Structure 1
Amino acid sequence: MFVLLLLTACNKDDETVTVDAPKGVATVTFLVTPNGLGDNGYNDAAAEGIFAFANATGTRLRLLLPKDEAEAENMYRQWLTDNATQDSAVMILGSSVYEGLAQSNHAALTGQGSRVLLFENDAVIDGVSTVLVSHYGVSYLAGAMSQGFDALILAATEGVPALEESIAGYRDAREIYAGENNGKPCQTTLHYLADNEMGFAMPDSAYRYIVRRADEFFFYDEMVFPLLGGSESGVLRYMNDDEFTLSLMVGMDVDQSGQSSRIPFSVVIRIGDVLRQCLNDWTSGREWPGHMQFGMKDGAADIVVTPNFFRHLNLWDNRYADPDTFQRLYEKYKDEAMKKEQTLPLPSL
């Protein structure tokens, strides 16, 4: 980010960060999702990969920071108008929330090397390449590693493909490996925080929901699987406020081991590395296919176990009395999770 700020200037009127590029110079424009940056997770990881590419190659980078989806569509339409005949101009649409925008605004680009890339999506869209990191296998692995605990899947909103894939993987593993605790079968609960995209930007609501849920139990010891974007900070706040809670949380999108002592392992989606690879292919003249898919087998998704997890807890129990508990579970189920992921059908292109 520091390097980017050295190379750019901020225009607060239209919420863009930009440098005007001379004609014939390659440019990359990143249309960020509303409230996307600053989540310490998926969106920031994506931006980091794009920033790293721009810094390493000297490619001009422009960020578009819309207040809402309506403004995002106006920005996208303007970019299509300005770049219809330009050479070497790339638009990166940040996440699947922009699928409808891409479908309804045809990317008729005639410039040499000009492209539109939509990530976190596998839709077939004329004039647009899509890229997806499968969340199924790594979520399946997280579900298997959550055995012995009741589990709460707390998701931002219903119908987002990446979230639904994560939910499916986690639940499929839990159906097999949830196990028992104190002689009772462990349960899996799914709750959606909101009925629209605002669920990704409601940390206070996430915090209040967890507090209410904890109040229902004498000992609250669920494993929370958060699919919340920026709202996840509310769950982290609860975990850090109540240092004597027995509940745990799966870190999400990046290694979050430093954000709470209650995170035994993190689901890591290396979307920044994937986007950087796509952009490097673009500058090398390699054609993007209609759809690109990555997963655990490519190293694009994995689980990172928190080192010395048990040493930082005020309370722990016999489910992880062995300091290598979660590492052993990771090693036991990783190959199975990868095989499960590879059996998923690819989209029809």
Structure 2
Amino acid sequence: MTVLVRSVWLRLLLCFVLLAACSCSDEAVPGTDTRLRLTVVTPISGLGDMGYNDKIMSGIMEFYGHHDVNMTLVSPTSLDEIRQIIQDWRKNTESGPRSLLLLTDDVYESVLKNTGITLASGQQILLVESRSTDLPEGVYTFNINRYGISYLAGCMARKHQEACVIAAMSGNPVLEEAIDGYTEGYQTDNDKQVKVFYLAEDASGFNMPDSAYRVIGQMGNTFVLPLAGGSNNGIYKYSRETPFYLSLVIGMDTDCSWFSSRIPFSIVIHIDTLLVQYLTAWFEEREMEPSHTYGMDSGMVDIVMSPIFYKYIDIWEEYYNDIEYWNNTYRKYKDEALEKEKTYVMH
């Protein structure tokens, strides 16, 4: 187990230890606890993906470590549970200290809209990564646009003979946005097509690393954009274990340099930083926008190069023989990607 992997799991273990000290119920005896209340509904695909979901929890725990709040953690296993969770929170926190319900998965949006919820004056909901602008009053959201950064990644992959996307599920707006960007970036000035593979038709695809392992094993020499949450670990594992493997894999959500020697760069999503900012604004009772989109120019999403790619790679292609190749292509296409993102958001 690498130093990075051990570090990730140690941080997660700390999270769970701290959460054990959190309140287990939203119900409070009047007068016994005047702290603000934070109820966190974890992603339906669970924690431990060593990527996006774990960064969400990292941001929450960073906030919790600096603010004295009464925090509750709720971990649903299906969408059927979400409606009852929202209704219970609404009822149990209607009076008393201010309360925030943090919904950390964009798939909860449909359930939230269908509840027809009306919030009390001290209640607010923060929904992560929704594109919706017609949420109920008192519900706030933000999203990180993936089109521009994925377009840039596609440009950087353009000289590879093939490119593909392995996505968790079809029809998810966040994933489809990234697929559109990567496809256009790779196919511009290029007669080759990006192949797209979906692991499932629902959110179960975010937790199918064995299936992702089998899918990538059936491909030839390709440049993979992994959009499958915890299932990405199956992709990294295959690229790590297979000798004389020419395909390259883009790290996703966090710096994945140590996950495989076939990762030249990673798309890093600073969801942890955004959550700290939003939770702090709620705690300090600052006004929040009902909806906001963050793109490449915000610094909340970027590409970082692997510092060990050329040190540990055992087989490579001539086009990226120069150790400055990835840095040079990043600089070459970054402004173009920024303009493409602006156009995409406008439409």
TM-score normalised by L of structure 1: 0.89
Partner of 1:205: 211
RMSD value, Cα: 2.1
Partner of 1:154: 166
Secondary structure of the equivalent of 2:255? coil
Question: Which of the numbers 178, 182, 187 marks the counterpart of 1:175?
Answer: 187
Q: Which runs of 5+ in 1 are unaligned?
A: 180-184, 214-219
Partner of 1:193: 199
> How far has the Cα of 1:233 moved from its partner?
1.3
Identity rate, percent: 35
- On the 8 A contact 1:117/1:130 being kept in 2, the answer is yes
Question: Which of the numbers 120, 127, 148 marks the counterpart of 1:118?
Answer: 127
Partner of 1:81: 91
Q: Do structure 1's residue 281 and structure 2's residue 292 form an aligned pair?
A: no
- On the 8 A contact 2:37/2:97 being kept in 1, the answer is no
> How far has the Cα of 1:237 moved from its partner?
1.5
Secondary structure of the equivalent of 1:221? coil
How far apart are the structure 2 equivalents of 1:209 and 1:166? 19
Map Cα deviations across residues 118-143 of structure 1 (whole Å, 9 max, x no partner): 11112121131111011111111111
The one-letter code of the counterpart of 2:196 is L
> How far has the Cα of 1:9 moved from its partner?
2.6
- On the 8 A contact 2:257/2:308 being kept in 1, the answer is no
Q: Do structure 1's residue 261 and structure 2's residue 267 form an aligned pair?
A: no
Partner of 1:66: 76
How far apart are the structure 1 equivalents of 2:205 and 2:21? 28
Secondary structure of the equivalent of 1:258? helix
Secondary structure of the equivalent of 1:131? strand
Secondary structure of the equivalent of 2:165? strand
Secondary structure of the equivalent of 2:65? helix
Partner of 1:234: 234
How far apart are the structure 1 equivalents of 2:340 and 2:16? 42
Question: Which of the numbers 147, 151, 162 marks the counterpart of 1:136?
Answer: 147
The one-letter code of the counterpart of 1:187 is Q
Secondary structure of the equivalent of 1:87? coil
Secondary structure of the equivalent of 1:193? strand
Partner of 1:300: 300
TM-score normalised by L of structure 2: 0.89
Partner of 1:25: 35
Secondary structure of the equivalent of 1:58? coil
Q: Which runs of 5+ in 2 are unaligned?
A: 1-11
> How far has the Cα of 1:156 moved from its partner?
0.9
Secondary structure of the equivalent of 1:143? helix
Secondary structure of the equivalent of 2:195? strand
Partner of 2:7: none
How far apart are the structure 2 equivalents of 1:37 and 1:75? 19
- On the 8 A contact 2:109/2:130 being kept in 1, the answer is yes
CA 1:18–1:38 in structure 2 vs 1: closer, same or farther (change >3 Å)? farther
- On the 8 A contact 2:45/2:203 being kept in 1, the answer is no
- On the 8 A contact 1:156/1:231 being kept in 2, the answer is yes
Partner of 1:45: 55
The one-letter code of the counterpart of 1:42 is Y
Map Cα deviations across residues 251-286 of structure 1 (whole Å, 9 max, x no partner): 001110111100000011111111111111112222
Map Cα deviations across residues 57-110 of structure 1 (whole Å, 9 max, x no partner): 222322111121112332222111112234321111112110111101233222
The one-letter code of the counterpart of 1:291 is S
Map Cα deviations across residues 14-35 of structure 1 (whole Å, 9 max, x no partner): xx96697644311211111223
Partner of 2:175: 163
> How far has the Cα of 1:346 moved from its partner?
5.8
The one-letter code of the counterpart of 2:164 is L
